[in-house]
Amino acid sequence: MSNTKYVFVTGGVTSSLGKGIIAASLAKLLQERGFSVTIQKLDPYINIDPGTLNPYEHGECYVTDDGAETDLDLGHYERYLNIPTSQANNVTTGRIYQSVINKERKGEFLGKTVQVIPHITDEIKRRIQLLGETGEYDIVITEIGGTVGDIESLPYVESVRQMLWEKGEDNAIVIHLTLIPFLAAAGELKTKPTQHSVKMLMQSGVSPDILVCRTEHEISDDIKRKLALFCNVKKEDVIQSIDAETIYDVPNLMLDQGLDRVVLNKLKLSSKGEPKLKVWNEFLRKHKNPISEVEIALIGKYIELQDSYKSITEAFIHAGSSNETKVNVRWVHSENLTAKNFEKKLKGVHGILVAPGFGDRGIDGKINAVKYARENNIPFFGICLGMQMAVIEFAKNVLGLVDAFSTEMKQDCKNPVINLMESQEDVTEKGGTMRLGAWDCNLMEDSNAHKAYKATKISERHRHRYEFNNDYLDQIELKGMKATGINPATGLVEVVEVPTHPWFVGVQYHPEYKSTVLKPHPLFVDFIKAALKYSTI
Ligand code: GLN
């Protein structure tokens, strides 16, 4: 029997209160007190994973080392905790039902009627405890997606109720994150929505142990007392979470409010000292006191929802802090970047990042952006589709292969410099079938990538179906674009560079997924460094 303790985080009143950030901040404090902690997200939607979702729906799809396509909150967990997550850290209703239905088809329920309770709830509880049973973690924090009261959240809340009862109050607790709105006309903070949301939770048999209250204004002792009285908690269990300047302030804010201490008390865990936030705070100091500034154009087709590029913008923050530089992002919609206006739209930037993506919408804009960066010696960073566009642009404009393209956008193109990977040819299903997760890559000595990583062997995460067509490698290299990173097993080109350019790097993988506060990604760090240098000439 493992003696892992469980902390559940539910949300009330409204969505978008930042459960992921609160969970990650608490986890950070506990981790820096010496506990081993992980965080899990349970998503109540019926998709098996967010891999098939349009980024406009829920933002970026985050990918783990083991190739799971997951909710973007897992990105926050990794960025805060600096430890990898896996498929076990993200479970959806679709996945739960799929397991139960597969078991039913195998006859594993021995003729019983299969029902939400106990079969679905048992599967939910099994998934929650999978992480605990590894014996690796003292504490597992499980974030329940959605808002209490949603029909689709009910089986999760019921599973939490059962687990609280099974584990006992010293081993499992509930933090309810809620909103205390400020009514400007009345000049008052209002507790009623929270009272209702706690009441709703209680109707499901779950009584929160701790309330974390999102608010724009300080919550007075009186309000805390009122919340405690109506919501069946002690006054010290009402924790204020005031709007922060940056999400990276939240661990310190929670420390000041004592969230970690309250949690440890309830779980009967003795603290191994105060959280060690020295490195974290050094990151924050540099982030908040930059000595220089750069502007980076981010070219993408989902920019109306900036969460679609969450890991990239967070990686900019990490790399900015490490360079003591403020990174301003100029969001450029690839669809609006035409042959006529691209110079005007990109004028003045110190670096250009062409983002990942799928399909042909906005493709010409991406190619124009690469051209502008390459011809004007502006630091360029192409990620996944961005790297593929760099290869296409080079083939078109330097090799003179005017019809060079990717078979993703033009199946019958004459010069498919990017084409479907062989392993993808027979794939018909969309979900979970890309080349996913961590793969090895060998870097060429003295390349910009090698200089950044200070290593020749690396492993990075992937999410793609198309690849550099090695039939064109010789021609492309002859004209000056080099393949500086290669998968040792398959020969697949992972990194391309133009060595005559100050910093022109395209990567088939997604470095942004591995950038954390404690370990900013080396390519992002060097990209910002190159942009900084460019800004001074
Ligand atoms: N659409 C491209 C591919 O599948 C790139 C994918 C991406 O940018 N993640 O290869």
> How far from the centroid of its chain's Cα atoms is residue 307's Cα?
9
Report how far ligand 1's centroid is from the alpha carbon of 527 (Å).
21
Contact 8, 173 (CB under 8 A): yes
Looking at ligand 1, which atom is closest to the CA of residue 356?
8
Looking at ligand 1, which atom is closest to the CA of residue 358?
1
Q: Which of 437, 432, 421 is nearest to 491 (CA)?
A: 421
Give every CB contact of residue 224 below 8 A, 6+ residues apart in sequence.
235, 238, 240
Greater confidence (71 vs 2) lies with 71
pTM: 0.95
Residue 433 token pair: 């079938």
What does the pLDDT look like over 375-390, one tens digit per residue?
Answer: 999 999 999 999 999 9
Please name the residue whose Cα sits nearest to atom 5 of ligand 1: 385
Residue 34 token pair: 């010496």
- Give me the half-sphere count of Cα atoms (radius 13 Å) on the Cβ side of residue 154: 8
Task: Label residue 74 by pLDDT band (50, 70, 90).
Answer: very high
Looking at ligand 1, which atom is closest to the CA of residue 463?
9
Crossing angle (nearest 10°) for helices 73-81 and 19-31 = 20
Residue 120 token pair: 């679905």
Q: Report percent pLDDT > 70 for the chain.
A: 100
Mean pLDDT of the 279-302 span: 97
Contact 177, 208 (CB under 8 A): no
Q: Which of 87, 103, 89 is nearest to 27 (CA)?
A: 89
Q: Which of 360, 353, 350, 375 is nearest to 506 (CA)?
A: 353
Please name the residue whose Cα sits nearest to atom 8 of ligand 1: 356
Report how far ligand 1's centroid is from the alpha carbon of 359 (Å).
8
Q: What pLDDT was estimated at residue 119?
A: 97
Report how far ligand 1's centroid is from the alpha carbon of 530 (Å).
26
User: What does the radius of gyration of the chain's CA atoms come to, in whole angstroms?
Assistant: 25
Which residue type does 393 have? E
Pocket test for ligand 1, best of 61, 358, 433, 494 (most atoms within 8 A of CB): 358
Please name the residue whose Cα sits nearest to atom 6 of ligand 1: 464
Looking at ligand 1, which atom is closest to the CA of residue 383?
8
What does the pLDDT look like over 146-187, one tens digit per residue?
Answer: 999 999 999 999 999 999 999 999 999 999 999 999 999 999
What does the pLDDT look like over 203-228, one tens digit per residue?
Answer: 999 999 999 999 999 999 999 999 99
Q: What pLDDT was estimated at residue 94?
A: 97
Mean pLDDT of the 48-63 span: 91
Please name the residue whose Cα sits nearest to atom 3 of ligand 1: 464
Report how far ligand 1's centroid is from the alpha carbon of 355 (Å).
10
Q: What pLDDT was estimated at residue 2?
A: 64
φ and ψ at residue 419, rounded to 5 degrees: -140, 170
Positions marked catalytic: 384, 510, 512
Report how far ligand 1's centroid is from the alpha carbon of 306 (Å).
19
CA distance 537 to 515: 28
Task: Label residue 435 by pLDDT band (50, 70, 90).
Answer: very high
Residues in contact with ligand 1 by the CB-under-6-Å rule are: 356-358, 384-385, 408, 463-466
Looking at ligand 1, which atom is closest to the CA of residue 355?
8
Mean pLDDT of the 305-333 span: 97
CA distance 109 to 115: 11
Mean pLDDT of the 277-300 span: 97
Mean pLDDT of the 98-125 span: 97
Contact 60, 308 (CB under 8 A): yes
Strand 466-468 with 415-420, pairing: antiparallel
Pocket test for ligand 1, best of 302, 354, 408, 510 (most atoms within 8 A of CB): 408
Pocket test for ligand 1, best of 361, 388, 411 (most atoms within 8 A of CB): 388
